[in-house]
Amino acid sequence: MLRVDTVSSAQNPRIKELLALQEKSKLRREKSLFVVEGRREVEHCLDSGFIPRTLFLCGEILAPSEMDRIVRKAKSLNHSCGIVQMPAFIYDKVAYRGGTEGVIAELETREIGLKDLKLGENPLIVVLEGVEKPGNLGAVLRSADAAGADAVIICDPLTDLWNPNLIRASIGAVFTTQVVAASSEDTIAFLKENNVKILTAQLQDSEWYYDTPMTQATAIVMGTEATGLTDIWRKAADSHIKIPMLGKLDSLNVSVSAAILLFEAVRQRQAK
């Protein structure tokens, strides 16, 4: 028989821990846990094999059929996964999106390294150096998923991969795409060992992106809008590429640039 616990107060210790995990990266690291909110995101996460510790459900919001499906998936991965029911007024206090989804999950983090990446015969990789904003990272992950990229490597990250804002902005793409955090030095060595061509997006000494071949194993490397890439990447690059800027500004948001460059690689590969 399925055991379901019920909470009736926002002061319940389990609710307090849930809120703390959402807000504190230090606690996420200490407990090796992170939080995912929303039916679609939780299902993507479970489908990718992440181990759930607790499901928090609101029966006033989540349809019984959806609740049953999510609980079955969670229990298939972890028979001891806790199931906690909460009323809508508590769910509204802990959910970023209010009463629109009805499910929040606490899951075990899963760290992978460069050596764990599974690359195709002709990989397409996105590398981000020092990108800080979770919303930008999440948007890049969505583009990487849409373009079928093999992996996203985040070098010298300034935000943790389990930040709820990153997960929310990616609408679950953080679970559908291989994501690794690594140093720039280790990433450059990994790319060269695997014969992956390094294309750095930069204004200096660059060719137009659409004149640069991307049909072979390719890594598209981007930095922040404010400072761009560090010299280690400029020196390691096989080619420097740029996007035409026909207005008065000299840069695009990194997530927009990533989408443009990724789908140029897709266009070239489909035309080949």
Indicate which CATH number applies to the domain containing 132. Answer: 3.40.1280.10
Q: Name the burial class of residue 11, with classes exposed (0-12), middle (13-18) and buried (19+) by CB atoms within 10 angstroms of its CB.
A: exposed
- What pTM did the predictor assign? 0.90
Number of domains observed in the structure of the chain: 2
120 and 94 in a single domain? The answer is no
- Tell me if 233 sits within 8 A of 187, measured CB to CB: no
* Residue ranges making up the domain that contains 171: 114-271
Average pLDDT, the chain: 92
Per residue in 159-189, pLDDT (tens digit) is: 788 998 899 899 889 999 999 999 999 999 9
263 and 129 in a single domain? The answer is yes
- Tell me if 262 sits within 8 A of 123, measured CB to CB: no
Helix (H), strand (E), coil (C) string for 77-138: HCCCCEEEECCHHHHHHHCCCCCCCCEEEEEECCCCCHHHCCCCCCCEEEEEECCCCHHHHH
pLDDT bracket for residue 1 (50, 70, 90) = low
